[in-house]
Structure 1
Amino acid sequence: MNVNKGALMGRLTDFEVITMSKKQTLTITVMTVLSCAIMLLIEQGLETTYVTKTLAKIVMFLVVPLIYIRFILKQRILEFLNLKHIDMKRLKSGFLLGLLASGIVLLTFLLLQDFIDTKAIISDLKNRLHITAEVYIFVALYITFGNSLLEEFYFRGFIFLKLYQTNQKVFAYVFSAGLFAFYHIAIFATWFNISLILLALVGLFTVGLVFNWLNTKSNNFLNSWILHILADIAVVSIGFYLFQVS
Protein backbone atom coordinates (compact mmCIF):
# COMPACT_ATOMS: atom_id res chain seq x y z
CA MET A 1 0.00 0.00 0.00
CA ASN A 2 1.55 3.28 -1.14
CA VAL A 3 1.19 6.26 1.16
CA ASN A 4 1.70 9.79 -0.01
CA LYS A 5 4.07 11.09 2.71
CA GLY A 6 3.54 14.70 1.69
CA ALA A 7 -0.22 14.38 2.03
CA LEU A 8 0.19 12.57 5.36
CA MET A 9 2.47 15.33 6.70
CA GLY A 10 -0.03 17.90 5.46
CA ARG A 11 -2.82 16.18 7.36
CA LEU A 12 -0.68 15.97 10.49
CA THR A 13 0.22 19.64 10.20
CA ASP A 14 -3.42 20.61 9.78
CA PHE A 15 -4.33 18.51 12.81
CA GLU A 16 -1.58 20.12 14.87
CA VAL A 17 -2.73 23.57 13.82
CA ILE A 18 -6.33 22.78 14.77
CA THR A 19 -5.22 21.32 18.11
CA MET A 20 -3.08 24.38 18.83
CA SER A 21 -5.98 26.70 17.97
CA LYS A 22 -8.29 24.81 20.33
CA LYS A 23 -5.74 25.01 23.13
CA GLN A 24 -5.31 28.75 22.59
CA THR A 25 -9.08 29.23 22.51
CA LEU A 26 -9.51 27.31 25.77
CA THR A 27 -6.63 29.16 27.42
CA ILE A 28 -7.90 32.59 26.39
CA THR A 29 -11.46 31.70 27.40
CA VAL A 30 -10.51 30.47 30.88
CA MET A 31 -7.98 33.27 31.44
CA THR A 32 -10.37 36.05 30.52
CA VAL A 33 -13.36 34.66 32.43
CA LEU A 34 -11.21 34.42 35.56
CA SER A 35 -9.84 37.94 35.03
CA CYS A 36 -13.33 39.42 34.69
CA ALA A 37 -14.55 37.47 37.72
CA ILE A 38 -11.63 38.86 39.74
CA MET A 39 -12.45 42.38 38.57
CA LEU A 40 -16.11 41.85 39.51
CA LEU A 41 -15.01 40.83 43.00
CA ILE A 42 -12.67 43.82 43.30
CA GLU A 43 -15.27 46.27 42.00
CA GLN A 44 -18.17 45.18 44.19
CA GLY A 45 -16.77 42.92 46.90
CA LEU A 46 -13.79 44.87 48.22
CA GLU A 47 -13.68 48.30 49.79
CA THR A 48 -10.96 49.86 47.65
CA THR A 49 -10.40 53.21 45.94
CA TYR A 50 -10.81 53.93 42.24
CA VAL A 51 -7.02 54.10 41.89
CA THR A 52 -6.64 50.59 43.32
CA LYS A 53 -9.34 49.24 41.02
CA THR A 54 -7.67 50.93 38.05
CA LEU A 55 -4.29 49.38 38.88
CA ALA A 56 -5.93 45.96 39.21
CA LYS A 57 -7.60 46.44 35.83
CA ILE A 58 -4.29 47.38 34.20
CA VAL A 59 -2.78 44.15 35.51
CA MET A 60 -5.73 41.94 34.50
CA PHE A 61 -6.53 43.56 31.14
CA LEU A 62 -3.07 44.64 29.95
CA VAL A 63 -0.10 43.11 31.75
CA VAL A 64 -1.38 39.51 31.86
CA PRO A 65 -2.41 39.42 28.15
CA LEU A 66 0.88 41.02 27.08
CA ILE A 67 2.84 38.41 29.02
CA TYR A 68 0.76 35.67 27.39
CA ILE A 69 1.27 37.09 23.89
CA ARG A 70 5.00 37.71 24.24
CA PHE A 71 6.19 34.76 26.32
CA ILE A 72 3.59 32.01 25.80
CA LEU A 73 2.55 32.59 22.20
CA LYS A 74 6.01 34.07 21.49
CA GLN A 75 4.64 36.73 19.16
CA ARG A 76 5.57 40.36 18.79
CA ILE A 77 2.91 42.62 20.29
CA LEU A 78 2.38 44.89 17.27
CA GLU A 79 2.21 41.90 14.92
CA PHE A 80 -0.28 40.10 17.16
CA LEU A 81 -2.46 43.23 17.24
CA ASN A 82 -1.90 43.95 13.53
CA LEU A 83 -0.73 47.50 14.29
CA LYS A 84 2.50 47.62 12.30
CA HIS A 85 0.80 49.01 9.19
CA ILE A 86 -2.35 51.08 9.77
CA ASP A 87 -4.69 52.05 6.92
CA MET A 88 -6.36 55.28 8.04
CA LYS A 89 -9.08 54.92 5.39
CA ARG A 90 -10.40 51.86 7.22
CA LEU A 91 -10.97 53.91 10.39
CA LYS A 92 -13.71 56.15 9.00
CA SER A 93 -16.41 53.78 10.19
CA GLY A 94 -15.20 54.18 13.76
CA PHE A 95 -15.51 57.97 13.59
CA LEU A 96 -18.96 57.95 11.99
CA LEU A 97 -20.43 55.30 14.29
CA GLY A 98 -18.76 57.01 17.26
CA LEU A 99 -20.62 60.25 16.54
CA LEU A 100 -23.85 58.27 16.19
CA ALA A 101 -23.17 56.42 19.46
CA SER A 102 -22.58 59.70 21.32
CA GLY A 103 -25.95 60.97 20.14
CA ILE A 104 -27.67 57.75 21.19
CA VAL A 105 -26.08 57.85 24.68
CA LEU A 106 -27.22 61.42 25.27
CA LEU A 107 -30.70 60.80 23.88
CA THR A 108 -31.11 57.64 25.97
CA PHE A 109 -30.16 59.53 29.13
CA LEU A 110 -32.64 62.30 28.34
CA LEU A 111 -35.42 59.75 27.82
CA LEU A 112 -34.66 57.59 30.87
CA GLN A 113 -33.32 60.08 33.41
CA ASP A 114 -36.59 60.05 35.36
CA PHE A 115 -36.10 56.31 35.95
CA ILE A 116 -32.47 56.65 37.07
CA ASP A 117 -31.53 57.37 40.66
CA THR A 118 -28.89 59.96 39.85
CA LYS A 119 -28.25 60.71 43.54
CA ALA A 120 -27.42 57.04 44.14
CA ILE A 121 -24.91 57.13 41.27
CA ILE A 122 -23.13 60.20 42.63
CA SER A 123 -23.23 58.74 46.15
CA ASP A 124 -21.66 55.53 44.88
CA LEU A 125 -18.93 57.46 43.07
CA LYS A 126 -18.14 59.52 46.18
CA ASN A 127 -18.45 56.87 48.89
CA ARG A 128 -17.36 53.62 47.21
CA LEU A 129 -14.88 54.96 44.66
CA HIS A 130 -13.89 58.19 46.43
CA ILE A 131 -14.44 60.24 43.26
CA THR A 132 -15.33 63.86 43.99
CA ALA A 133 -16.30 66.70 41.68
CA GLU A 134 -12.79 68.15 42.06
CA VAL A 135 -11.00 65.03 40.75
CA TYR A 136 -13.69 63.98 38.28
CA ILE A 137 -11.98 65.80 35.40
CA PHE A 138 -8.95 63.52 35.76
CA VAL A 139 -11.15 60.43 36.05
CA ALA A 140 -13.09 61.56 32.96
CA LEU A 141 -9.89 61.92 30.94
CA TYR A 142 -8.72 58.46 32.05
CA ILE A 143 -12.10 56.88 31.25
CA THR A 144 -12.23 58.50 27.81
CA PHE A 145 -8.72 57.64 26.65
CA GLY A 146 -7.04 55.20 29.06
CA ASN A 147 -9.91 52.95 30.11
CA SER A 148 -11.30 52.78 26.58
CA LEU A 149 -7.86 51.69 25.34
CA LEU A 150 -7.63 48.97 28.00
CA GLU A 151 -11.06 47.58 27.19
CA GLU A 152 -10.65 47.66 23.41
CA PHE A 153 -7.21 46.07 23.57
CA TYR A 154 -8.57 43.38 25.90
CA PHE A 155 -12.06 42.56 24.62
CA ARG A 156 -11.47 43.19 20.93
CA GLY A 157 -7.73 43.08 20.21
CA PHE A 158 -6.83 40.21 22.53
CA ILE A 159 -10.05 38.18 22.83
CA PHE A 160 -12.20 38.75 19.75
CA LEU A 161 -9.65 39.07 16.96
CA LYS A 162 -7.53 36.18 18.24
CA LEU A 163 -10.55 33.86 18.47
CA TYR A 164 -11.89 35.17 15.14
CA GLN A 165 -8.60 34.32 13.44
CA THR A 166 -8.91 30.70 14.58
CA ASN A 167 -12.07 30.42 12.43
CA GLN A 168 -14.33 30.21 15.49
CA LYS A 169 -16.14 33.29 14.31
CA VAL A 170 -19.54 32.81 15.97
CA PHE A 171 -17.95 31.95 19.30
CA ALA A 172 -15.59 34.92 18.97
CA TYR A 173 -18.51 37.30 18.48
CA VAL A 174 -20.72 35.90 21.24
CA PHE A 175 -18.02 35.27 23.84
CA SER A 176 -16.30 38.65 23.48
CA ALA A 177 -19.55 40.64 23.48
CA GLY A 178 -20.99 38.56 26.33
CA LEU A 179 -17.92 38.95 28.51
CA PHE A 180 -17.84 42.68 27.74
CA ALA A 181 -21.44 43.01 28.97
CA PHE A 182 -20.85 40.75 32.01
CA TYR A 183 -17.81 42.73 33.11
CA HIS A 184 -19.76 45.97 33.21
CA ILE A 185 -22.13 44.54 35.81
CA ALA A 186 -19.30 45.26 38.24
CA ILE A 187 -19.52 48.95 37.42
CA PHE A 188 -23.26 49.68 37.50
CA ALA A 189 -24.65 46.86 39.67
CA THR A 190 -25.64 49.34 42.41
CA TRP A 191 -26.78 52.14 40.12
CA PHE A 192 -29.92 50.77 38.44
CA ASN A 193 -32.93 48.61 39.20
CA ILE A 194 -33.11 45.13 37.70
CA SER A 195 -35.05 46.26 34.61
CA LEU A 196 -32.47 48.89 33.70
CA ILE A 197 -29.62 46.47 34.43
CA LEU A 198 -31.09 43.92 32.00
CA LEU A 199 -31.63 46.68 29.42
CA ALA A 200 -28.03 47.82 29.89
CA LEU A 201 -26.74 44.26 29.48
CA VAL A 202 -28.64 43.79 26.24
CA GLY A 203 -27.36 47.15 25.03
CA LEU A 204 -23.76 46.37 25.98
CA PHE A 205 -23.92 42.96 24.31
CA THR A 206 -25.25 44.57 21.13
CA VAL A 207 -22.56 47.25 21.31
CA GLY A 208 -19.95 44.52 21.73
CA LEU A 209 -21.18 42.79 18.57
CA VAL A 210 -21.00 46.06 16.62
CA PHE A 211 -17.50 46.78 17.96
CA ASN A 212 -16.41 43.30 16.90
CA TRP A 213 -17.85 43.69 13.42
CA LEU A 214 -16.12 47.07 13.05
CA ASN A 215 -12.75 45.56 13.81
CA THR A 216 -13.08 42.91 11.12
CA LYS A 217 -12.89 45.81 8.66
CA SER A 218 -9.44 46.91 9.84
CA ASN A 219 -8.27 43.64 11.45
CA ASN A 220 -7.23 45.57 14.57
CA PHE A 221 -9.02 47.22 17.48
CA LEU A 222 -8.55 50.85 16.42
CA ASN A 223 -12.02 51.30 14.90
CA SER A 224 -13.79 50.25 18.08
CA TRP A 225 -11.38 52.33 20.19
CA ILE A 226 -12.29 55.45 18.23
CA LEU A 227 -15.99 54.65 18.63
CA HIS A 228 -15.47 53.93 22.35
CA ILE A 229 -13.70 57.27 22.89
CA LEU A 230 -16.52 59.24 21.27
CA ALA A 231 -19.20 57.34 23.19
CA ASP A 232 -17.31 57.86 26.46
CA ILE A 233 -17.17 61.60 25.82
CA ALA A 234 -20.97 61.56 25.98
CA VAL A 235 -20.94 59.37 29.12
CA VAL A 236 -18.48 61.54 31.07
CA SER A 237 -20.38 64.63 29.98
CA ILE A 238 -23.44 63.16 31.70
CA GLY A 239 -21.22 62.61 34.74
CA PHE A 240 -20.28 66.30 34.81
CA TYR A 241 -23.96 67.18 34.62
CA LEU A 242 -24.85 64.84 37.49
CA PHE A 243 -22.16 66.29 39.74
CA GLN A 244 -23.59 69.76 39.08
CA VAL A 245 -27.23 68.90 39.83
CA SER A 246 -26.70 66.47 42.72
Structure 2
Amino acid sequence: MVKQLVLLFGPTIMIILGLPILQNVPITFLLFYGWLLLIPIVVSFRRKNRNRFFVPQPKSSLTVGIISGIICLIAIYGFFYLFQSLVIDRENLSTLLVQWDFTGSKVILLVFFLILVNPILEEFYWRRFMYDRLYPRLGSTFTILITSFFYSLYHLVVVMPIFNSPFHILAAMIVFLAGIMWGIFRSKFHTIVPSIVSHSLADLGIMLVYLFIIL
Protein backbone atom coordinates (compact mmCIF):
# COMPACT_ATOMS: atom_id res chain seq x y z
CA MET A 1 0.00 0.00 0.00
CA VAL A 2 2.79 2.42 0.92
CA LYS A 3 4.65 1.64 -2.30
CA GLN A 4 1.52 2.29 -4.35
CA LEU A 5 1.01 5.67 -2.66
CA VAL A 6 4.64 6.61 -3.33
CA LEU A 7 4.19 5.70 -6.99
CA LEU A 8 0.95 7.69 -7.20
CA PHE A 9 2.26 10.80 -5.44
CA GLY A 10 5.80 10.63 -6.89
CA PRO A 11 5.22 12.68 -10.08
CA THR A 12 3.42 15.42 -8.10
CA ILE A 13 6.27 15.58 -5.60
CA MET A 14 8.75 15.99 -8.45
CA ILE A 15 6.70 18.87 -9.86
CA ILE A 16 6.49 20.55 -6.43
CA LEU A 17 10.24 20.25 -5.99
CA GLY A 18 10.92 21.70 -9.43
CA LEU A 19 8.45 24.58 -9.67
CA PRO A 20 7.25 25.99 -6.31
CA ILE A 21 10.49 25.14 -4.51
CA LEU A 22 13.35 25.37 -7.05
CA GLN A 23 11.36 27.50 -9.53
CA ASN A 24 13.15 26.16 -12.58
CA VAL A 25 11.45 24.50 -15.57
CA PRO A 26 14.51 22.60 -16.94
CA ILE A 27 15.19 21.08 -13.51
CA THR A 28 11.51 20.25 -13.18
CA PHE A 29 11.70 18.40 -16.49
CA LEU A 30 14.68 16.37 -15.28
CA LEU A 31 13.00 15.46 -11.99
CA PHE A 32 9.55 14.75 -13.40
CA TYR A 33 10.44 12.87 -16.57
CA GLY A 34 13.28 11.11 -14.82
CA TRP A 35 10.69 9.69 -12.42
CA LEU A 36 8.27 8.72 -15.20
CA LEU A 37 11.01 6.95 -17.14
CA LEU A 38 13.22 5.36 -14.50
CA ILE A 39 10.76 4.23 -11.83
CA PRO A 40 8.78 1.89 -14.15
CA ILE A 41 12.04 0.47 -15.51
CA VAL A 42 13.41 -0.24 -12.02
CA VAL A 43 10.15 -1.68 -10.69
CA SER A 44 9.49 -3.75 -13.81
CA PHE A 45 13.05 -5.08 -13.80
CA ARG A 46 12.76 -6.15 -10.17
CA ARG A 47 9.45 -7.86 -10.88
CA LYS A 48 10.79 -9.29 -14.14
CA ASN A 49 7.74 -7.89 -15.87
CA ARG A 50 8.21 -7.93 -19.62
CA ASN A 51 4.65 -7.29 -20.74
CA ARG A 52 4.47 -5.19 -23.86
CA PHE A 53 2.68 -1.87 -23.84
CA PHE A 54 2.67 -1.48 -27.61
CA VAL A 55 0.55 -4.33 -28.90
CA PRO A 56 -1.22 -4.83 -32.23
CA GLN A 57 -4.40 -2.78 -32.36
CA PRO A 58 -7.23 -2.40 -34.83
CA LYS A 59 -7.23 0.63 -37.12
CA SER A 60 -10.32 1.86 -35.31
CA SER A 61 -8.27 2.47 -32.17
CA LEU A 62 -5.92 4.83 -34.03
CA THR A 63 -8.90 6.56 -35.58
CA VAL A 64 -10.38 7.10 -32.12
CA GLY A 65 -7.06 8.49 -30.91
CA ILE A 66 -6.72 10.88 -33.84
CA ILE A 67 -10.32 12.14 -33.76
CA SER A 68 -10.39 12.62 -29.98
CA GLY A 69 -7.01 14.37 -30.13
CA ILE A 70 -8.14 16.77 -32.85
CA ILE A 71 -11.26 17.59 -30.83
CA CYS A 72 -9.09 18.28 -27.77
CA LEU A 73 -6.73 20.46 -29.82
CA ILE A 74 -9.57 22.56 -31.26
CA ALA A 75 -11.32 22.85 -27.89
CA ILE A 76 -8.14 23.95 -26.08
CA TYR A 77 -7.11 26.51 -28.67
CA GLY A 78 -10.65 27.79 -29.15
CA PHE A 79 -11.24 28.22 -25.43
CA PHE A 80 -8.06 30.25 -24.89
CA TYR A 81 -8.66 32.27 -28.05
CA LEU A 82 -12.09 33.32 -26.79
CA PHE A 83 -11.38 33.72 -23.08
CA GLN A 84 -7.66 34.53 -22.87
CA SER A 85 -8.19 37.84 -21.05
CA LEU A 86 -10.15 36.07 -18.30
CA VAL A 87 -7.91 33.03 -17.95
CA ILE A 88 -4.39 34.50 -18.10
CA ASP A 89 -2.68 37.57 -16.69
CA ARG A 90 -0.10 38.12 -19.43
CA GLU A 91 2.19 40.38 -17.40
CA ASN A 92 2.24 38.00 -14.45
CA LEU A 93 2.77 35.00 -16.72
CA SER A 94 5.69 36.64 -18.56
CA THR A 95 7.38 37.39 -15.23
CA LEU A 96 6.71 33.85 -14.04
CA LEU A 97 8.19 32.22 -17.16
CA VAL A 98 11.38 34.26 -16.80
CA GLN A 99 11.54 33.31 -13.13
CA TRP A 100 11.14 29.65 -14.08
CA ASP A 101 13.87 29.95 -16.76
CA PHE A 102 11.39 29.10 -19.52
CA THR A 103 13.08 31.47 -21.96
CA GLY A 104 15.37 31.70 -24.96
CA SER A 105 16.52 28.65 -26.85
CA LYS A 106 15.22 26.37 -24.09
CA VAL A 107 11.65 27.11 -25.17
CA ILE A 108 12.03 25.38 -28.55
CA LEU A 109 13.52 22.28 -26.96
CA LEU A 110 10.92 22.14 -24.21
CA VAL A 111 8.02 22.65 -26.64
CA PHE A 112 9.39 19.84 -28.82
CA PHE A 113 9.71 17.64 -25.73
CA LEU A 114 6.17 18.39 -24.54
CA ILE A 115 4.61 17.46 -27.88
CA LEU A 116 6.60 14.33 -28.71
CA VAL A 117 8.04 12.88 -25.49
CA ASN A 118 5.63 13.96 -22.78
CA PRO A 119 2.59 12.02 -24.13
CA ILE A 120 4.60 8.80 -24.38
CA LEU A 121 6.07 8.99 -20.88
CA GLU A 122 2.86 10.13 -19.18
CA GLU A 123 0.68 7.55 -20.92
CA PHE A 124 3.23 4.82 -20.25
CA TYR A 125 3.36 5.71 -16.55
CA TRP A 126 -0.36 6.18 -15.86
CA ARG A 127 -2.20 4.12 -18.45
CA ARG A 128 0.23 1.24 -18.60
CA PHE A 129 2.53 1.00 -15.56
CA MET A 130 0.13 2.21 -12.84
CA TYR A 131 -2.91 0.77 -14.60
CA ASP A 132 -1.36 -2.70 -14.64
CA ARG A 133 -0.42 -2.42 -10.96
CA LEU A 134 -3.86 -1.33 -9.76
CA TYR A 135 -6.16 -3.19 -12.13
CA PRO A 136 -5.86 -6.70 -10.58
CA ARG A 137 -7.05 -5.40 -7.18
CA LEU A 138 -9.37 -2.54 -8.11
CA GLY A 139 -10.78 -3.36 -11.52
CA SER A 140 -11.01 -1.08 -14.52
CA THR A 141 -13.37 1.65 -13.24
CA PHE A 142 -11.56 2.44 -9.97
CA THR A 143 -8.16 2.13 -11.61
CA ILE A 144 -9.12 4.67 -14.27
CA LEU A 145 -10.52 7.07 -11.64
CA ILE A 146 -7.50 6.82 -9.33
CA THR A 147 -4.87 7.16 -12.05
CA SER A 148 -6.80 10.08 -13.58
CA PHE A 149 -6.99 11.85 -10.21
CA PHE A 150 -3.27 11.62 -9.54
CA TYR A 151 -2.54 12.49 -13.16
CA SER A 152 -4.55 15.70 -12.76
CA LEU A 153 -3.07 16.48 -9.31
CA TYR A 154 0.32 17.68 -10.52
CA HIS A 155 -1.31 19.56 -13.38
CA LEU A 156 -3.14 21.56 -10.73
CA VAL A 157 0.21 22.42 -9.14
CA VAL A 158 1.47 23.66 -12.52
CA VAL A 159 -1.55 25.77 -13.50
CA MET A 160 -2.26 27.36 -10.10
CA PRO A 161 0.27 30.20 -10.56
CA ILE A 162 -0.46 30.49 -14.31
CA PHE A 163 -4.25 30.75 -14.55
CA ASN A 164 -6.53 33.24 -12.86
CA SER A 165 -8.90 31.82 -10.25
CA PRO A 166 -11.08 29.75 -10.64
CA PHE A 167 -9.75 28.63 -14.04
CA HIS A 168 -6.92 26.61 -12.49
CA ILE A 169 -9.57 24.38 -10.88
CA LEU A 170 -11.42 24.11 -14.17
CA ALA A 171 -8.19 23.19 -15.97
CA ALA A 172 -7.45 20.43 -13.45
CA MET A 173 -10.98 19.07 -13.86
CA ILE A 174 -10.57 18.99 -17.64
CA VAL A 175 -7.25 17.16 -17.26
CA PHE A 176 -9.00 14.68 -14.95
CA LEU A 177 -11.68 14.05 -17.60
CA ALA A 178 -9.00 13.65 -20.27
CA GLY A 179 -7.29 11.07 -18.05
CA ILE A 180 -10.57 9.18 -17.77
CA MET A 181 -10.99 9.24 -21.55
CA TRP A 182 -7.46 7.93 -22.13
CA GLY A 183 -7.96 5.34 -19.40
CA ILE A 184 -11.07 4.11 -21.21
CA PHE A 185 -9.03 3.85 -24.41
CA ARG A 186 -6.47 1.77 -22.51
CA SER A 187 -9.15 -0.50 -21.10
CA LYS A 188 -11.04 -0.93 -24.37
CA PHE A 189 -8.16 -1.38 -26.80
CA HIS A 190 -5.59 -2.99 -24.41
CA THR A 191 -2.86 -0.67 -25.64
CA ILE A 192 -1.73 2.88 -24.92
CA VAL A 193 -1.15 3.80 -28.57
CA PRO A 194 -4.54 5.56 -29.07
CA SER A 195 -4.13 7.51 -25.84
CA ILE A 196 -0.61 8.58 -26.84
CA VAL A 197 -1.88 9.87 -30.20
CA SER A 198 -4.80 11.71 -28.58
CA HIS A 199 -2.59 13.07 -25.79
CA SER A 200 0.02 14.32 -28.26
CA LEU A 201 -2.55 16.26 -30.26
CA ALA A 202 -3.98 17.76 -27.06
CA ASP A 203 -0.48 18.86 -26.00
CA LEU A 204 0.01 20.34 -29.47
CA GLY A 205 -3.08 22.46 -28.79
CA ILE A 206 -1.52 23.72 -25.55
CA MET A 207 1.73 24.58 -27.31
CA LEU A 208 -0.15 26.42 -30.06
CA VAL A 209 -1.82 28.47 -27.34
CA TYR A 210 1.59 29.32 -25.93
CA LEU A 211 3.17 30.17 -29.28
CA PHE A 212 0.31 32.07 -30.95
CA ILE A 213 -1.77 33.47 -28.09
CA ILE A 214 0.43 33.90 -25.02
CA LEU A 215 3.51 35.07 -26.92
Give me the TM-score of the superposition, normalised by structure 1. 0.79
* CA displacement 1:2-38 (0-9 Å, x = unmatched): xxxxxxxxxxxxxxxxxxxxxxxx3563122331342
Contact 1:161 1:219 in 2 (8 A): no
Gaps of 5+ in 2: none
2:190 matched to which residue of 1?
A: 219
Contact 2:186 2:195 in 1 (8 A): yes
Q: Distance in 1 between the 2:2 and 2:191 partners?
A: 21
- Residues 1:192 and 2:163 are matched in the alignment: yes
1:65 matched to which residue of 2?
A: 40
Q: Which runs of structure 2 are paired with 1:55-204 in the superposition (5 Å)?
A: 55-71=30-46, 73-76=47-50, 79-81=51-53, 83=54, 85-89=55-59, 90-115=61-86, 116-128=88-100, 130-166=101-137, 168-204=139-175
Contact 2:18 2:28 in 1 (8 A): yes
Distance verdict in 2 for CA 1:41–1:169, change over 3 Å: same
1:38 matched to which residue of 2?
A: 13
SS of the aligned residue for 2:211 comes to helix
SS of the aligned residue for 1:192 comes to coil
| Displacement of 1:161 | 4.2
- AA aligned opposite 1:226: V
SS of the aligned residue for 2:163 comes to coil
Contact 1:94 1:227 in 2 (8 A): yes
* CA displacement 1:201-231 (0-9 Å, x = unmatched): 2111111111111122321211111011111
- AA aligned opposite 2:123: E
Q: Distance in 2 between the 1:173 and 1:28 partners?
A: 19
Contact 1:133 1:243 in 2 (8 A): no
Distance verdict in 2 for CA 1:193–1:31, change over 3 Å: same
- AA aligned opposite 2:63: K
Distance verdict in 2 for CA 1:195–1:48, change over 3 Å: closer
Distance verdict in 2 for CA 1:80–1:30, change over 3 Å: farther
RMSD: 2.0
Q: Distance in 1 between the 2:210 and 2:183 partners?
A: 27
- AA aligned opposite 1:62: L
- AA aligned opposite 2:96: D
1:19 matched to which residue of 2?
A: none
Bigger radius of gyration, 1 or 2? 1
Q: How many residues align?
A: 213
Give the % identical residues.
21
Q: Distance in 2 between the 1:111 and 1:164 partners?
A: 40
Give me the TM-score of the superposition, normalised by structure 2. 0.89
1:29 matched to which residue of 2?
A: 4
